[in-house]
């Protein structure tokens, strides 16, 4: 089934995407896609190698801490 995955934190939309979700694996892939997009956005904002190495995946987890995930049929 096609679902719209949204991740919001403090009223700000962090991620929105449409995915085919039929089981736990496909739901996990949808979440992994969201993680990858958030991580890439952070990497694109870094201006130095030192800052890049410092942030890697830790900042994505910090960004998602307290966020709300919603699913709607697309």
Report pTM.
Answer: 0.80
- In the chain, the percentage of residues whose pLDDT exceeds 90 is 64
Is the confidence at residue 17, as pLDDT, over 70?
yes
First to last CA, the chain: 8
Asked if residues 8 and 14 have their Cβ atoms less than 8 Å apart, the reply is yes
Enter the tokens of residue 73.
């049929």
- At residue 42, the pLDDT reads 80
Enter the tokens of residue 74.
């697309």
Greatest Cα-to-Cα distance within the chain, rounded to the nearest angstrom:
42
- At residue 48, the pLDDT reads 72
- Of 49 and 11, more confident: 11
């Amino acid at each position: 089934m096609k679902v719209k995955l949204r991740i919001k934190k403090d009223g700000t939309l962090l991620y929105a995407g449409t995915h085919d979700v039929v089981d736990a694996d496909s739901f996990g892939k949808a979440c992994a896609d969201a993680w990858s997009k958030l991580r890439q956005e952070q990497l694109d904002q870094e201006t130095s190698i030192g800052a890049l190495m410092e942030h890697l995946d830790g900042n994505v987890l910090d960004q998602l801490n307290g966020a709300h995930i919603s699913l709607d049929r697309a």
